[in-house]
Amino acid sequence: MPIVNIDLIAGRSQAQLKALVQDVTSAVTKNTGAPAEHVHVILREMQPDRYGVAGVLKSDEK
Protein backbone atom coordinates (compact mmCIF):
# COMPACT_ATOMS: atom_id res chain seq x y z
CA MET A 1 0.00 0.00 0.00
CA PRO A 2 1.92 3.07 -1.19
CA ILE A 3 1.32 6.20 0.87
CA VAL A 4 2.30 9.55 -0.63
CA ASN A 5 2.50 12.63 1.59
CA ILE A 6 2.49 16.03 -0.09
CA ASP A 7 3.05 19.24 1.87
CA LEU A 8 2.11 22.42 0.02
CA ILE A 9 1.20 26.00 0.67
CA ALA A 10 -2.54 26.60 0.70
CA GLY A 11 -4.15 28.46 -2.16
CA ARG A 12 -4.81 25.95 -4.90
CA SER A 13 -8.30 25.30 -6.17
CA GLN A 14 -10.21 22.10 -5.50
CA ALA A 15 -9.81 21.24 -9.20
CA GLN A 16 -6.02 21.61 -8.96
CA LEU A 17 -5.84 19.41 -5.86
CA LYS A 18 -8.07 16.79 -7.48
CA ALA A 19 -5.86 16.73 -10.60
CA LEU A 20 -2.74 16.45 -8.41
CA VAL A 21 -4.13 13.43 -6.58
CA GLN A 22 -5.14 11.79 -9.85
CA ASP A 23 -1.74 12.41 -11.47
CA VAL A 24 0.22 11.20 -8.44
CA THR A 25 -1.93 8.08 -8.21
CA SER A 26 -1.34 7.40 -11.89
CA ALA A 27 2.43 7.81 -11.52
CA VAL A 28 2.56 5.51 -8.51
CA THR A 29 0.50 2.79 -10.18
CA LYS A 30 2.60 3.05 -13.37
CA ASN A 31 5.92 2.81 -11.55
CA THR A 32 5.11 0.38 -8.75
CA GLY A 33 2.40 -1.83 -10.19
CA ALA A 34 0.21 -1.13 -7.17
CA PRO A 35 -3.48 -0.96 -7.98
CA ALA A 36 -4.97 2.54 -7.75
CA GLU A 37 -7.32 1.51 -4.95
CA HIS A 38 -4.26 0.82 -2.77
CA VAL A 39 -2.59 4.18 -3.38
CA HIS A 40 -3.15 6.72 -0.62
CA VAL A 41 -2.35 10.39 -1.20
CA ILE A 42 -2.31 12.74 1.79
CA LEU A 43 -2.32 16.48 1.14
CA ARG A 44 -1.25 18.78 3.94
CA GLU A 45 -1.76 22.47 3.27
CA MET A 46 0.15 25.11 5.19
CA GLN A 47 -0.78 28.75 5.48
CA PRO A 48 1.81 31.06 3.89
CA ASP A 49 2.55 32.62 7.29
CA ARG A 50 3.51 29.18 8.63
CA TYR A 51 6.24 28.41 6.07
CA GLY A 52 9.49 30.17 5.36
CA VAL A 53 12.48 29.89 3.05
CA ALA A 54 15.85 31.53 3.74
CA GLY A 55 14.44 33.28 6.79
CA VAL A 56 11.48 34.82 4.97
CA LEU A 57 7.87 33.76 5.45
CA LYS A 58 6.05 33.01 2.22
CA SER A 59 3.39 35.49 3.31
CA ASP A 60 6.03 38.25 3.34
CA GLU A 61 7.29 37.60 -0.19
CA LYS A 62 6.40 40.16 -2.81
Query: Any catalytic annotation for residue 35?
Result: no
| Dmax (CA) of the chain | 43
Active-site residue, selected from the candidate residues 2, 8, 21, 24: 2
Residue 30's identity, in one-letter code, is: K
Dihedral pair phi/psi, residue 40, rounded to 5°: -110, 130
Report the C-alpha gap between 43 and 45 in whole angstroms: 6
**Residues forming the active site:** 2
